[in-house]
Amino acid sequence: MQTLFNRKFIMYTQNLLTQDAPVILIVDDIEAHLELMEAILTREGYEVRATLHPEEALRIIREISPDLAILDVMMPGMNGYELCKRLKALSKENYFPIILVTSLNQLSDKINGIESGADDFFSKPFNNVELTTKIRSLIKLKRLQDELESSENVIFTLAIAIEAKDPYTKGHSERVGNLSSEFASFIGLSEAEVTTIKKGGILHDIGKIGLSESILHKSHPLSREDMELIKRHPSVGMEICKPLYSLRQLIPIITHHHERWDGSGYPLGLKGEEIPLPARIVNIIDTFDAMVSIRPYRTGSLTKEHVTKIMDNERQLGQWDPYLVKKFLEMIMIKEYLA
């Protein structure tokens, strides 16, 4: 799997110059400036969409997906800083590079540009070679980000598709991701941490792609050999996701969600706070969802009330972080009370 991704990235880099012409959006309230910029970029092989009006720029980005935008700062009505913020908001999680161009050269102007989300800042008059070099660099970065996003989506889709084949685990990873993020938010983690934990919860079992269905669906106790194979799935999942830089923050969750608080877990036997916090969270939610779901080795599912009692009774016995289990049970009680 790692070799496949590496080969894919190499092919992507080699084919950058053979892709369709990148589309650049230019916004400037002076027509002569627009014409000059358009002439420079057209000569460089770019497709240009130019407009004098910021509101028109917002319409353009809703209709097409430019690869980059160049905005003049000093425009009447909506200035370049505000337009930059709105364009970034419209692009949502997708990487959309923006260059601000202005005759202002105070440090405060550049700070405003950075705070608005701009990826670079050029002062007039600018050097044509410097500008076009920076544009090429940003567009290559955007296309690489797009490729990474596509590969990431493939992995998430694969994780969900694997579970869809099994009536016992269908929806498990999505539920773990959703409940883990809810719990992370409940204990006060940042928005970025909550997002990471949700993604990690979805992908925590991606390494099971390497396990046969005969092992996953066994209704009787697993053999020692079966258990050794199952214990490899966190490491396999890590190897699947490691080539993608965008998934690097999920690797501690995928690798360590079967570690135990008392050090008797796998794959590394980490103990206590040696186990990354996101992995400790997903460990708890993974167990909870497995217990309230129907599994081949158990007749029927357990009620939430029964499961919470079990977890409360066992929270000092070494499987989970006792404090986190206590907080999780508090959240479940609140959810049940408000339901």
What digits encode the pLDDT tens for the residues 146-195? Answer: 766 666 677 777 777 666 655 556 788 889 999 999 999 999 999 999 99
Q: Are residues 194 and 285 in the same domain?
A: yes
Mean pLDDT, rounded, for 260-267: 96
Structural domain including 18 reads 14-145
The pTM assigned to this predicted structure is 0.59
What is the pLDDT, as a whole number, of residue 252?
96
Domain membership of residue 23 (yes or no) is yes
What is the pLDDT, as a whole number, of residue 12?
41
Q: Are residues 313 and 201 in the same domain?
A: yes
Q: Are residues 226 and 257 in the same domain?
A: yes
Domain membership of residue 125 (yes or no) is yes
Which of 293-302 are b and which e, b meaning 16 or more Cβ less than 10 Å from the residue's Cβ?
beeeeeeeeb
Q: Are residues 128 and 235 in the same domain?
A: no
Q: Are residues 325 and 179 in the same domain?
A: yes
Instruction: State the Cα–Cα distance between residues 337 and 339, nearest whole angstrom.
Output: 6
* Mean pLDDT, all residues of the chain: 84
- CATH code of the domain covering residue 94: 3.40.50.2300
Report pLDDT digits (tens) over 201-213.
Answer: 999 988 887 676 6
Question: Which of 20, 12, 127, 27 has the alpha carbon at shortest distance from 80?
Answer: 27
Q: How many domains does the chain fold into?
A: 2
Q: Are residues 36 and 140 in the same domain?
A: yes
Tokens 């690798």 correspond to 255
- The answer to whether residue 49 scores a pLDDT higher than 60 is yes
Tokens 């993974």 correspond to 286
Q: Are residues 232 and 325 in the same domain?
A: yes
Of 35 and 8, which is predicted with more confidence?
Answer: 35
Domain membership of residue 160 (yes or no) is no
Q: Are residues 175 and 118 in the same domain?
A: no
Domain membership of residue 227 (yes or no) is yes
Domain membership of residue 273 (yes or no) is yes
Beta carbons of 84 and 116 less than 8 angstroms apart: yes
Domain membership of residue 7 (yes or no) is no
Q: Are residues 141 and 173 in the same domain?
A: no
Q: Are residues 141 and 267 in the same domain?
A: no
Domain membership of residue 151 (yes or no) is no
What is the pLDDT, as a whole number, of residue 42?
93
- CATH code of the domain covering residue 173: 1.10.3210.10
Instruction: State the Cα–Cα distance between residues 275 and 272, nearest whole angstrom.
Output: 6
Most distant CA atoms of the chain, gap in Å: 78
Report pLDDT digits (tens) over 211-224.
Answer: 766 666 666 677 78
Report pLDDT digits (tens) over 103-157.
Answer: 766 677 778 878 888 988 888 777 888 888 999 999 988 887 776 666 667 777 7
- For the packed helices 172-186 and 191-203, what is the interaxial angle rounded to 10 degrees? 160
Domain boundary, last residue among 145, 179, 213: 145
Domain boundary, last residue among 145, 174, 202: 145
Q: Are residues 229 and 115 in the same domain?
A: no
Q: Are residues 141 and 63 in the same domain?
A: yes
For residue 325, what are the CA distances in angstroms to 178, 211, 320, 329? 17, 30, 7, 6
Token pair for residue 206? 């991606």
